[in-house]
Structure 1
Amino acid sequence: MFVRGSVSKAVRTGVCGRMFSSGPSPLLVSDPDPSFGPATSMNMFSAINDAMKLTLERDKTAVIFGEDVAFGGVFRCTMGLRDSFGAHRVFNTPLSEQGIAGFAIGLAAMGVTALAEIQFADYIFPAFDQIVNEAAKYRYRSGGMFDVGGLVFRTPSSAVGHGGHYHSQSPEAYFAHTPGLKVVTPRSAIEAKGLLLASIATRDPIIFLEPKILYRASVEQVPTGYYTIPLGKAQVVKTGSDVTVVGWGSQMHVLNRAVKMAEEKEGISCELIDLRTIMPWDRETVLNSVKKTGRLVVAHEAPVTNGFGSEIAAAMQEHAFLHLEAPVVRVCGYDTPFPLSHERFYVPDVLRCYEGISKAVHY
């Protein structure tokens, strides 16, 4: 376990610099949609907090629970919510992920909007059976008579710079393999609030992965009101003509730097896509881009074997084979336990992603 506050301190003191670049550069940020109304400065953790606050205000059945959430949680995402809404709606649970998941499923089956926090994504595996064998199949096994709509598992995921093999994993592919679950991960504060509100509003169980290194990494003008970003719809962050580059979560900031490096050094025009939703993923947007560029690079922190990049590569080989000018390039973590002492070499950085882009273009 981390000492409380150590993660945010590490982010402030340069972990982001080691992961995202070798020099100073702003992270990839978004402009708020004017139609969403007035906006104010928020970072990702405060945007997530705001989304949950709005949910508690609008939905009187909504409850938030997990390990240490009553005082704000390790990353402070639930800070102030118990004081505002009471201990009967925001409360701590025993240190049992299986118990948290089972309790959440039971509440959701009774019509409650259950927002369960798993303290780190690495801790979700004791609850794996509950999530993939119960939550994911609840509607199907009852012939549609019952469901666990309104069930969201929030959990901090991905590398933070010093987490090692129990605090840095990216488990999205495990859950994307399970029919009945939706898997979502944001790259920024605006995206986090809109995607979380959309996840809460949908009537399917959701795994909402929050890249922990981004909680305090940047500030955006986030709309203060209620808004949603559609699930299952990728975003073309930057248009280009030579190669399609796909990522999600914190890897988007790495890819943004790599794309700029490729353009500056070699004049390569990159189309950058944020998948946003891992399952269901937006095959159409990626396919249309690959048909245009003829090349694809996918990057993620999870190990390369059976990482979700494999599914994207296979789908493009199946549906865009005659358009491809080069093999699909995957830039990923390695097939080893996540190494504490070599974390900066394990996580795909700007240079590795740039080399992947160059490899695809010059094949």
Structure 2
Amino acid sequence: MEYRRLGASGPVVSRVAFGNSLTAGNQLEDRAATACVRAALDAGITTFDTADAYAGGRAEELLGRALGGVDRDSVVICTKVGRGGKPGPGALSRARIAESLDGSLRRLGTGHIDLYQAHLYDDSTPLDETMRAFADAVAAGKIRYVGVSEWAADEIARAAVLARELGIPLVANQPQYSMLWRVIEAEVVPACEESGIGQMVWSPLAGGVLTGKYKPGLRAPAGSRAVAAKGGEISIQRYSFLSDEVLSAVERVGALADEAGLTLPQLALAWVLQNSQVATAVIGASAPEQIGRNLAAAGKTLGPELLRRIDDALGAVVVRDPGLTLSRMLRARAATAASSPATPISSPAIL
């Protein structure tokens, strides 16, 4: 396992992190979820990602129990605020942050969170209020570093200015990123690089599509994320990853993986880690053995010719539009709803 600093001044993280968004408390029984965490530790993973919203808080509880007995200073525990708790406005208000943070600390069984991330931008709360609440939590020793997740470039830039003024260690952004989904490259990554913010990306395997298990013209296999995990079917189908056009392109990339002596998941993970701005990529697992197989890619370097052939194989199915950054998508929906009150606004069941 390799390790890298997250952002210009963040914690040292393993190049691959373990996340439990759709597994712990959902797709897996508790014993299996714990076995996956233990396998991650055995493989050298030191960075663990969860959120107060995952499985209604049970994902945090299970992670806390699974890490019981582990030297606390040897792991980086990351969680999020902004989608758990009560619905409605104020998801990143001072009161909601204080309430959610104390709940996360209790469920995780720890005295501090290494990286506390704002889970989606909150238009209903002044950004200054959110950042001051984070500053107070840092001063109290409850969190050590601050991050955001799925924010747009302009939101990140404004947060970075406030962070500097308040002395907040804003070091990370957690966006979706894969060889199929590259919407952060044009705007978000440059904005983060300018402010010393690193990328902790999620869904490097595009919700499992880049494992090769889904085939064009065939139904999703039983037990797969597309049918078995609450929220998993949305995270895949929302972006049309199961269209025959995408799946045919993925089969072409699979052939390139074979030529390179890699599995398709290994190639997909190596591709994400090839980006110099990506400090760590968050993977999940439904079985402990998946972790070791996929980690074989962590130290692989893909040559320019292979990268070119991957782009050629994927062609037009690659999504690059920066307007599809999740925060911007929600803004657009809100604007549409304001002009057409009958249009519902639903919170995305992903991340």
Using CA pairs under 8 Å that are at least 6 residues apart, name the structure with larger relative contact order, 1 or 2. 2
Q: Which range, TM-score by smaller chain?
A: 0.3 to 0.5
In the superposition, the TM-score normalised over structure 2's length comes to 0.33
TM value normalised by structure 1: 0.32
